[in-house]
Amino acid sequence: MRVLVQLLALVLLPPFHATAQTIPPPDPSRLPELIHGIADDQTHYLRHEANHFRYHLHRVDPKEDTLRDVIETPDGSVARLLQHNGQTLTQAEDDGDRKRLGNYIQSGDLRKKQRDERRSQSYGLELLNSMPQAMIYTLTPGQPQLPKVDRPQWVLDFVPNPQFHAKTIAEDLSTGIAGRLWIDAADHHLVRLELHTTRNLDVAMGLLARVYTGGTIEYDQRRVSEGIYAYTHVRMHLRLRELLVHTVPYDADLVATDIQALQPALTAQQAIDTLLQDHVPTR
Confidence label for 243 from pLDDT (cuts 50, 70 and 90) = low
- Greater confidence (43 vs 35) lies with 35
Q: Nearest 5°: CA angle at 47, between 43 and 49?
A: 100
Q: Are 228 and 261 in contact (CB under 8 A)?
A: yes
pLDDT of residue 14: 32
For 52-77, the pLDDT digits (tens) are: 899 999 999 988 999 999 999 988 88
What digits encode the pLDDT tens for the residues 133-186? 999 999 988 877 888 788 889 999 999 999 999 888 778 888 899 999 999 998
Whether pLDDT at 245 is above 80: no
Report the C-alpha gap between 154 and 185 in whole angstroms.
Answer: 6
Residue 99 CA to residue 73 CA, distance in Å, equals 20
β pairing state of 52-60 and 247-262: antiparallel
Mean pLDDT of 114-130: 81
Contact 43, 124 (CB under 8 A): no
What are the structural domain ranges in the chain? 26-277
What local confidence, expressed as pLDDT, does residue 228 receive?
Answer: 83
Q: Are 159 and 131 in contact (CB under 8 A)?
A: no
The one-character DSSP state at 282 is B
- In angstroms, the CA 181 to CA 189 distance is 10
Q: Name the more confident of 236 and 117.
A: 236
pLDDT 10s digits, 188-234:
999 999 999 999 987 655 556 788 899 999 999 998 887 788 989 99
Confidence of residue 263 (pLDDT cuts 50, 70, 90): confident
Model confidence at 13: pLDDT above 50? no
Return the half-sphere exposure (C-beta side, CA atoms, 13 A cut-off) of residue 115.
5
Find the DSSP H helices in 138-236. 169-174
How high is the pLDDT of residue 48?
Answer: 66
Start-to-end C-alpha separation, the chain:
33
Say if residue 55 is exposed, middle or buried (CB neighbours under 10 Å; 0-12, 13-18, 19+).
buried
Q: Tell me whether residue 107 is exposed, middle or buried, using C-beta atoms within 10 angstroms of its C-beta: 0 to 12, 13 to 18, 19 or more.
A: exposed
Of the ranges 110-114, 192-196, 262-266, the best mean pLDDT one: 192-196
Average pLDDT over residues 103-109: 85
Q: Alpha helix locations (H) across the chain?
A: 2-12, 31-46, 91-102, 109-134, 169-174, 268-277
**pLDDT for the residue numbered 137:** 94
Percent pLDDT > 90 in the chain is 45
Is pLDDT above 60 for 38? yes
Amino acid at 124: G
Report the mean per-residue pLDDT for the chain. Answer: 84
What was the pLDDT predicted at 129?
A: 86
* Enclosing H/E stretch for 47: none
